[in-house]
């Protein structure tokens, strides 16, 4: 498939080594602005490592991760510290094992996500400490925004409950709402459908599609649930052992021999043939 015309994210020759282990090997792909791009692959293929490189939790051994805002500003993510990627480049992420602030309420979780604008409104705490109305207005606006997103993901009625008390599916959705409260241009979701039942993952599909349509959020997605991947993604990138083996539309990925081999294995005679080729 040809390179996207207006890429929001371009990953070029990305490699990540942990000692002798090459988790990601010379990976290049691009994500189109306003599209949902899925990153799939068998367990241990290096998908989450790619995510951690993009969001700054790892520093890639080799390669470049370039993010371009709609106004043309470019950020080289591999050079930014993790919190700056969220703050300046506006890349938000969720985690494979949910990382909500369990002891804080759902609403507080979403307010923490708006830390940077609120911090500015509170005059870096000084004005807020004095109780000036500037901060009061900013906080009211932040609460409205939090309410909006909680309503969108359908957990508004649990806003005052501690996040750790919510059922698993709702925690997943709160994490997405929390990420959206940072006004991201690129949202990275690490297995958002893990642990959801069929109905919940259908709702998730609908939510992601609406987010893309109404807020023009570009989404990068790691997922094992094929109903999500095939149902909503515009483009699929398949990784196996850290190497990209496919890059194309969801329709094509079903029929790709390499992808099928990576997921399901190959026929016995093919193994024999391959072994003969390398002289085993």
Partner 1 sequence: MSQALETPARPAIDLLGALKSGALAAVVAFGLFSLLIGVRTDQGPTGALEIEPRLVALGVICAVAFVGGFARACLAGESLDLAGYIPERIKTAAGHVGRYFGLALLAFAVIEPIAFYHNRYILDLGILVLTYVMLGWGLNIVVGLAGLLDLGYVAFYAVGAYSYALLAQNFGWSFWICLPIAGFLAACWGVMLGFPVLRLRGDYLAIVTLAFGEIIRLVLLNWQSVTGGPNGISGIARPSFFGLPFTDDENGFAATFGLEYSPTHRVVFLYYLILVLALLTNWVTLRLRRLPIGRAWEALREDEIACRSLGINTTTTKLTAFAMGAMFGGIAGSFFATRQGFISPESFTFSESALVLAIVVLGGMGSQLGVAVAAFAMLGAFELFREFSQYRMLVFGIAMVLIMIWRPRGLVATRTPSVFLGKPKEVPAEIVAEARQ
Q: Which is closer to partner 1, CB of 136 or CB of 265? A: 136
Q: Does 132 bind partner 1 (CB under 8 A)?
A: no
**Residues 231, 6, 58: CA angle, nearest 5 degrees:** 75
Nearest approach in angstroms of CB 267 to partner 1 is 43
Residue whose tokens read 């919940």: 200
Asked if 33 and 218 count as a contact pair (C-beta separation under 8 A), the reply is yes
Q: Which of 8, 53, 107, 219 binds partner 1 (CB under 8 A)?
A: 107
β-pairing verdict for 21-32 and 7-18 = antiparallel
Q: Does 162 bind partner 1 (CB under 8 A)?
A: yes
d(CA 25, CA 16): 7
d(CA 139, CA 111): 8
Nearest approach in angstroms of CB 252 to partner 1 is 33
Q: Which of 23, 31, 40, 100 binds partner 1 (CB under 8 A)?
A: 100
Asked if 36 and 221 count as a contact pair (C-beta separation under 8 A), the reply is yes
Phi/psi of residue 262, each to 5°? -65, -40
Q: Which of 48, 49, 55, 218 binds partner 1 (CB under 8 A)?
A: 55
Residue whose tokens read 């490592």: 49
Helix, strand, coil share (%) of the chain residues, nearest 5 = 45, 25, 30
Nearest approach in angstroms of CB 115 to partner 1 is 5
Residue whose tokens read 């699929």: 236
d(CA 254, CA 217): 26
Q: Does 101 bind partner 1 (CB under 8 A)?
A: yes
Q: What is the x/- site pattern for partner 1, positions 181-200, by CB under 8 A?
A: -x------------------
Q: Does 118 bind partner 1 (CB under 8 A)?
A: yes
The 3-state DSSP class for residue 65 equals strand
From 54-62, 64-72, 193-201, 244-252, span contacting partner 1 (CB under 8 A): 54-62
Nearest approach in angstroms of CB 86 to partner 1 is 3
Q: Does 16 bind partner 1 (CB under 8 A)?
A: no
Asked if 180 and 155 count as a contact pair (C-beta separation under 8 A), the reply is no
Q: Which of 14, 24, 27, 86 binds partner 1 (CB under 8 A)?
A: 86
The 3-state DSSP class for residue 239 equals strand
Asked if 212 and 200 count as a contact pair (C-beta separation under 8 A), the reply is no
Q: Does 115 bind partner 1 (CB under 8 A)?
A: yes
**Total binding residues toward partner 1, as defined by CB under 8 A:** 46
From 41-49, 59-67, 159-167, 256-264, span contacting partner 1 (CB under 8 A): 159-167
Q: Which is closer to partner 1, CB of 35 or CB of 158? A: 158
Nearest approach in angstroms of CB 120 to partner 1 is 9
Q: Residue 13: how many CA atoms within 13 Å on its side-chain side?
A: 3
Q: Binding residues for partner 1, per CB under 8 A?
A: 55-57, 82-87, 92-93, 95, 99-105, 107-108, 111-116, 118-119, 122, 125, 128-129, 131, 135, 139, 143, 147, 159-160, 162, 164-165, 178-179, 182
């Amino acid at each position: 498939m040809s390179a996207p015309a207006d890429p929001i994210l371009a990953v070029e020759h990305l490699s990540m080594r942990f000692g002798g282990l090459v988790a990601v090997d010379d990976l290049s792909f691009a994500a189109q602005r306003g599209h949902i791009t899925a990153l799939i692959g068998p367990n241990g293929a290096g998908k989450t490592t790619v995510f951690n490189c993009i969001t700054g939790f790892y520093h890639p051994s080799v390669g470049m991760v370039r993010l371009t805002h709609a106004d043309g500003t470019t950020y080289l993510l591999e050079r930014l510290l993790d919190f700056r990627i969220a703050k300046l480049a506006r890349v938000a992420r969720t985690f494979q094992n949910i990382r909500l602030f369990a002891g804080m309420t759902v609403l507080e979780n979403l307010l923490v996500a708006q830390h940077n604008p609120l911090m500015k409104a509170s005059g870096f705490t000084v004005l807020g400490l004095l109780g000036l109305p500037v901060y009061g207005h900013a906080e009211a606006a932040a609460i409205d925004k939090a309410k909006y997103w909680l309503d969108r993901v359908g957990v508004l009625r649990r806003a005052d409950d501690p996040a750790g008390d919510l059922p698993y599916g709702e925690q997943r959705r709160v994490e997405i709402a929390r990420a959206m409260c940072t006004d991201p241009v690129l949202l990275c979701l690490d297995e958002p459908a893990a642990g959801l039942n069929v109905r919940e993952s259908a709702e998730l599909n609908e939510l992601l599609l609406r987010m893309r349509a109404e807020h023009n959020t570009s989404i990068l997605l790691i997922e094992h649930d094929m109903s999500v991947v095939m149902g909503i993604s515009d483009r699929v990138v398949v990784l196996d052992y850290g190497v990209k083996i496919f890059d194309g539309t969801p329709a094509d990925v079903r029929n790709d021999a390499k992808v099928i081999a990576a997921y399901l294995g190959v026929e016995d005679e093919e193994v024999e043939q391959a072994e003969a080729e390398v002289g085993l």
